[in-house]
Amino acid sequence: MKILLSLIYLFTSQFLFSQIKYVDSLYKTPFDTNKIKDAVRLSNTSEVFSYDSLYIWNDKRSLSEIVDARAGYFINTFNLNGRNSINFNGYPDKNIGIFLDGVQINDVIFGGFDIQNISINEIDRIEEVSNVSSFLYGVNSNGKSINILTKNFLRPQPFSQLRYSQDRTNSLYADLFFTLPFSKKFNWMIGLTKHSIDAYYQNSESDIWRGRTRISYFPSSKINVELNFRFSNIKRGLNDGLTGNSNDDSVLSQTARVWSVIDKEEINNYHFDAGMTFKLFKNPMALTKVKLFYIHFLRDFHGEQRNLVNKDTIVDDRLNSKRYGLSVLQNLYLIKSKNFSTALSIGGNFYYDEVNDSTEKFHEIGKYSNRYYSVYVKGDLKYGRFSLSPMIKYDNIKNNGFMSLGIEGNYDLVRNKDLGIKLFAGSNLVNSIYITDFTGLYESNFYNDTSVNYYEAGINISYKNSILRSYFFIQEANGYNKTTSRGVNTSLNFDSEFFSLLNQLNYIDKEYFPLIYYKGDYSYHNYFFRGKLNLHVGFTFKYLYTKWDVGFDKRFNYNDLGIHYGNYKNRYYADFYIGARIGHANINLTLANLFDNLYYDTNLYPYNNRGGLGNVVSRFTIVWDFLN
C-alpha cells in the first residue's frame, strides 16, 4: 500500500510539475521586475489620470491647458508661453502646490509656478490629491496639490519619442525623449525641448530651451535609486497686455498697442534631486521614500519696472533664489481583514531658502534666508462601505509653530454591477500660511490670513458608462479682512464605444474668478482599416461669465492674481480637433477659436490671438514613438 501511494504521489507530482512548467514556458517575465511602482506618488489614495489616454487627442500644449479642462480649475493666461497661473476653487496660484515626481517646485519668491519649466511631452500621468488633504504635502499647498509623474520607461530595448508641433505666429515646438536600458538594474534617460514663438502682438515673443536627464539604479525589487537633473532657459517679452480701446477690431489687429514694448525677462532654472525608495515591510505597498533636492532660480529683468516699495522706476534687476530640500514619506499598513483595514502615512519636509536681490532695488532687502519644516500624519480607516481619513500637520516657519487639522470620509450608499452611489465630505483648518519678507508681493489680504477653513460635501454617481460628480464647498479666510466664498463643482462624463462627452461646470462667488465656468469636450472615436487607425474627432467648448467689472486702464502686475477683462462679462470659445493614432505616431490637427471671438481669461490678454476659418489649420502636432 505504501509503495502504491508513493507511486501515485510521484506520478501526480510529475504531472503537476509538468503543467506548471508548460504554463511558465508561455509566460514572459516583465523586464522591469526590479522597478518599484508608484515610487514618486504623494498618496496611495489620490486620483491619478493619464495624459495620453485623455488629452493627447485634443492636443493640450501645457500643464495649464490640461488642468483647465478639469473641474474647479481656472487659468490666468498671459500669452502662449507666459507664466500662466493655475488657480483652484477660489485659491490663487500661490496656494496651489505643484510637485514634480514628489518634489515641490513652486517658486520661492513669487509663489505659484512657471509652467514653462515643464515640457508637455515629459508628462506621463498627473496625481491630484484630494481637496481636503492637499495641505499635508508641501508649503502653501492648502488650495490643491498636483503631482506631475514624468515618463520613466524601463524596457528591454532603447526607446525614443519625438513631439513636433507647429502653431500660429511662427510657434515651433520640438521635444526629443530618449531612454537607454543598460540592464534590468540600470537605466538612463535624456530629454531636450525647444519652443520659440514670434507671437501676435508687440513684445510677446519667447524662446525656451529645456533639458532633463535621469539615471536610475534598481539593485533589487526592494531598493530603487534615481538621480535627476533639469535645466530651463526662458526668454520672453513682458508687454503687460493690450492698452484699452473700445473698438474690438483694434485689439484683434497685430497693430494693437501694448503697455510695454521694452520689458523683458530671462529666467534660468536648475533642478537636481536624488530619490531613494525602499520596501522595508512585508506589505508591497508599504514604501519608504526619501528625496533630497536643490532648486536654483535666477531671473534677469530688463526694462522699466516699478519698485514695489517706493514706486521708483528701475531699469534692470536680478533676482536669485536657492532652495535646499528634504522630503520623507513612510506608508504603513497595520490591520487588514475582510471588513476592516487601517493604513498610516507619516511624512515630513524640510526647506532652506536663500534669496538675493543683487541690485537691492526690487524689494530693498538685499539678502534673505529662511528655514521651514513640517511633520504630518494621515490615517486611512476602512470598515465595510465606510472609510475615514483623519490627518494632522505641524509646520514651523521662522521658528513659529502652527498646527493644521483635517478629516475626510466617504460612504458607498449603493454598490453593484451597474450602479454606484458614493457620498463624501471633508473639512480642514490650515494655519500655516507661509509669508516671506517680500510683503510687496502679497498685496491681497488673502496672504495675511492666519488661518483658512475649508468644507466640502458631495455625491458621486456612476451608472454603466456615465459618471456624475458634484460637491459644494465653503472657504473661510480669517485674516485682516474676513472673507467667505462658496462654490459648486460638477462634472458629468459619458464614455461609450464610439462617443465621449465630458462636461465640467464650476460656480464660485469669488473675486477675480469666473462666477460660472463651463468646459465641454464632445468627441467621436473609432478604429478603421482593421484597427490600424485610431481616430478621434471632436469639439471643445468654454464659456465664462463674470460679474466683476474691471476697467481697461488697470494694468496687470507681474506678481498679482490676474484681473479679468472688464467689458466682456460673457465669453465663449470653441475648437475643432482631429486626433489619429497611426502605427507608432499620433497626429493632431486643430482649428482654434471657430467663432473668432475676442476671448479673455485675464485682463487685456487675449486667450488666442486669432481664430475662425481664416486660419484653416491653427495647429499641427505629431508625436512619434521609435523602438530602436
Which pLDDT band, with edges at 50, 70 and 90, does 247 fall under?
A: low
- Check residue 627 and give its pLDDT: 61
pTM: predicted TM-score of the whole model, two decimal places: 0.89
Choose between 573 and 10: higher pLDDT.
573
Query: Nearest Cα to 126, choosing from 51, 193, 71?
Result: 51
Residue 148 has pLDDT above 80, yes or no: yes
The enclosing H or E element of 274 equals strand 264-278
| Residue count (the chain) | 628
Answer whether 625's CB lies under 8 Å from 263's CB.
no
What is the Cα–Cα distance from 628 to 584, expressed in whole angstroms?
12
Query: Nearest Cα to 525, choosing from 514, 513, 538?
Result: 538
- Number of other residues whose CB lies within 10 A of the CB of residue 344: 15
What is the Cα–Cα distance from 89 to 9, expressed in whole angstroms?
67
Query: Nearest Cα to 54, choosing from 596, 360, 491?
Result: 491
Which pLDDT band, with edges at 50, 70 and 90, does 217 fall under?
A: very high
Quote the distance between the C-alpha of residue 349 and its chain's center.
Answer: 20
pLDDT averaged over every residue in the chain: 83
pLDDT in tens, 62-113: 999 999 999 999 998 887 788 888 999 988 888 899 999 999 999 888 788 8
Answer whether 385's CB lies under 8 Å from 415's CB.
yes
> Average pLDDT for residues 565-593, to the nearest whole number?
82
pLDDT in tens, 440-485: 333 333 344 568 899 999 999 999 999 999 999 999 987 666 788 9
Which pLDDT band, with edges at 50, 70 and 90, does 11 fall under?
A: very low
pLDDT > 70: percent of the chain: 82
Break the chain into its structural domains and give their ranges.
47-627
Choose between 270 and 625: higher pLDDT.
270
- Check residue 561 and give its pLDDT: 33
Quote the distance between the C-alpha of residue 230 and its chain's center.
Answer: 17
pLDDT > 90: percent of the chain: 53
Residue 19 has pLDDT above 70, yes or no: no
- Check residue 290 and give its pLDDT: 97
What is the Cα–Cα distance from 11 to 18, expressed in whole angstroms?
11
Residue 288 has pLDDT above 60, yes or no: yes
What is the Cα–Cα distance from 604 to 258, expressed in whole angstroms?
9
Which pLDDT band, with edges at 50, 70 and 90, does 566 fall under?
A: very low
CATH classification for the domain delimited by 47-627, as one of 3.30.565.10, 2.40.170.20, 3.30.43.10, 2.120.10.80: 2.40.170.20
Which pLDDT band, with edges at 50, 70 and 90, does 297 fall under?
A: very high
> Average pLDDT for residues 520-526, to the nearest whole number?
96
* Range of weakest confidence among 206-220, 473-487, 522-536: 473-487
Choose between 613 and 250: higher pLDDT.
250
What is the Cα–Cα distance from 98 to 121, expressed in whole angstroms?
17
> Average pLDDT for residues 500-515, to the nearest whole number?
90
- Grid coordinates representing 72 are 474647479
Choose between 3 and 214: higher pLDDT.
214
Which pLDDT band, with edges at 50, 70 and 90, does 8 fall under?
A: very low
What is the Cα–Cα distance from 615 to 592, expressed in whole angstroms?
8
* Range of weakest confidence among 147-156, 308-317, 397-406: 308-317
Q: Which amino acid is at 585?
A: A
Residue 186 has pLDDT above 90, yes or no: yes
- Grid coordinates representing 186 are 540600470
